[in-house]
């Protein structure tokens, strides 16, 4: 009898402790391009839906469900859509949801999707859509010291329409479709992504970074890694990827650091189909 009471007491204690653990909640908002707010959607614009989120947190996360349509942010500021902390954008279908920024004039500060905040971002994601840019740095760009966590891009088409030899599309290469930079322990993850250009990531000099640049089941013309000699040790993960070129870039201005330390990267690669490997100095100095 005593053992039975002890068992019951333990079970009740565990139930009580579990009830005291904060639970994560998810709030869903629906965006429909030609919808009627309050009838079949909450918003008709992705940018507006994200801008109005103010109480997002680790325990209160938002999912922006975007129904099929074309969401055009051409010539409307430097950034089409600014990602937010603990907010995930999910398209209804990869080919049915198109997020576009086709500007008249090129500028490095422009991107279809980017981060524009002074508050730390620990997690953000965009999934199941097509992202297109022209006269921008990239359709998808993240290089902000306020980003300190994990980004996930899942089931995406990334298209940079930049004219060859202009803007960020060199005459001897491909334009960026995914361009990211990290300084610490940031984790950039792409899964099931098709790119018509370059998936590009780099660390920063003297940051002791321990970032992760992870590509799984991705197809791209070029995968490009930039080593600015961070004096840290970053991890590159390539699994089941297809590319014409994998290029490791180093920079002449950091040659003294590089000659002492060697590469800042450890590469974990499995089951990839990469036709050509290049190791080159990318400096203009």
pLDDT value, residue 260: 43
Is 194 part of a structural domain of the chain? Answer: yes
Structure-model confidence comparison of residues 231 and 22, the more confident one: 231
* CA atoms of 130 and 95, how far apart (whole Å): 6
Would 8 be classed as within a structural domain?
Answer: no
Q: Phi and psi of 145, rounded to 5°?
A: -60, -15
Parent domain of 271:
24-281
User: What is the Cα–Cα distance from 124 to 77, expressed in whole angstroms?
Assistant: 21
- Percent of the residues in the chain that have a pLDDT greater than 90, as a whole number: 73
pLDDT at 141: 97
In 3-state terms, what secondary structure has residue 115? coil
Residue 276: which of 250, 244, 238 has the closest Cα?
A: 244
Q: Tell me, what CATH number does 198's domain have? A: 2.160.20
> Does residue 131 contact residue 160 with C-beta atoms inside 8 Å?
no
Please, is 58 exposed, middle or buried when counting C-beta atoms within 10 Å of its C-beta (0-12, 13-18, 19+)? Answer: exposed
For 2-53, what is each residue's pLDDT tens digit? 556 566 555 545 455 455 567 899 999 999 999 999 999 999 999 999 999 9
Q: CB under 8 Å to 88, separation ≥6 — which residues?
A: 61, 62, 63, 64, 124, 125, 126, 127
Across the range 211-220, mean pLDDT stands at 98
pLDDT band at 205 (very low <50, low <70, confident <90, very high): confident
State residue 23's pLDDT score: 87
Q: Is residue 183 part of a domain?
A: yes
Please state, as a whole number, how many other Cβ atoms lie within 10 Å of the Cβ of residue 183: 20
Residue 4 resides in a domain? no
Dist. CA 75–CA 91, nearest whole Å: 23
Q: Is residue 18 in a domain?
A: no
Instruction: Please report how many Cα atoms fall inside a 13 Å half-sphere around the Cα of residue 250, on the Cβ side.
Output: 16
Q: Residue 63: what pLDDT?
A: 98
Tell me whether strands 111-114 and 138-142 are parallel, antiparallel or unpaired: parallel
Give a yes or no: residue 6 inside a domain. Answer: no
> Running DSSP on this structure, what letter comes out for residue 43?
B
Looking at residue 256, its pLDDT comes to 47
What is the dihedral angle through the alpha carbons of 260, 263, 266, 269, rounded to the nearest 10 degrees? -150
Mean pLDDT (whole number) for 80-96: 98
Residue 168's nearest CA partner among 110, 100, 251 is: 110
pLDDT of residue 78: 96
What pLDDT shows up at residue 30? 98
pLDDT band at 89 (very low <50, low <70, confident <90, very high): very high
pLDDT above 80 (res 227): yes
- Dihedral of CA 38/72/54/58: which sign? positive
Provide the residue count of the chain.
285
DSSP 255: H
Mean pLDDT of 88-112: 97
* 8 Å CB contact between 175 and 169: yes
pLDDT tens sequence across 137-188? 999 999 999 999 999 999 999 999 987 766 666 666 789 999 999 999 999 9
Q: What is the mean pLDDT of the chain?
A: 89
- The CA distance from 167 to 176, in Å, is 10
Contact status, residue 178 vs residue 138, Cβ threshold 8 Å: yes
Q: Could you say which DSSP state residue 202 is in?
A: E
The total domain count for the chain is 1
- The answer to the question of residue 236 being in a domain is yes
pLDDT at 257: 46
1 vs 126, which has greater pLDDT?
126
Tokens 């997020």 belong to 99
CA distance 238 to 212: 11
Residue 5 lies in a domain: no
Stated pTM of the model: 0.89
Q: Please, where are the H alpha helices in 112-262?
A: 255-261
DSSP state of 44: S
Confidence of residue 258 (pLDDT cuts 50, 70, 90): very low
């Amino acid at each position: 009898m005593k053992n039975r009471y002890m068992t019951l007491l333990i079970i009740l204690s565990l139930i009580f402790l579990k009830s005291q653990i904060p639970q994560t909640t998810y709030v869903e908002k629906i965006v429909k391009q030609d919808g009627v707010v309050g009838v079949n959607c909450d918003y008709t614009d992705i940018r507006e839906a994200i801008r109005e989120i103010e109480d997002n947190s680790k325990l209160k996360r938002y999912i922006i469900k975007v129904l099929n349509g074309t969401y055009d942010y051409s010539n409307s500021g430097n950034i089409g859509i600014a990602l937010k902390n603990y907010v995930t954008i999910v398209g209804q279908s990869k080919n049915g949801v198109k997020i576009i920024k086709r500007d008249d004039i090129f500028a490095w500060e422009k991107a279809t999707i980017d981060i524009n905040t002074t508050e730390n971002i620990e997690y953000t994601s965009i999934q199941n859509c097509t992202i297109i840019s022209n006269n921008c740095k990239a359709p998808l760009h993240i290089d902000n010291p306020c980003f300190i966590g994990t980004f996930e891009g899942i089931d995406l088409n990334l298209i940079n329409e930049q004219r060859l030899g202009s803007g960020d599309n060199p005459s001897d290469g491909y334009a960026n479709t995914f361009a990211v930079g990290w300084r610490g322990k940031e984790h950039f993850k792409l899964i099931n992504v098709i790119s018509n250009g370059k998936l590009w990531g780099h660390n920063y000099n003297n940051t002791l970074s321990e970032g992760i640049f992870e590509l799984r089941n991705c197809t791209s013309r070029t995968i490009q890694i930039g080593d600015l000699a961070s004096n840290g040790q970053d991890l590159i993960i390539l699994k089941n990827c297809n590319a014409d070129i994998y290029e490791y870039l180093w920079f002449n201005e950091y040659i003294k650091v590089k000659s002492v330390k060697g590469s800042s990267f450890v590469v974990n690669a499995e089951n990839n189909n990469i036709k050509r490997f290049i190791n080159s100095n990318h400096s203009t100095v």
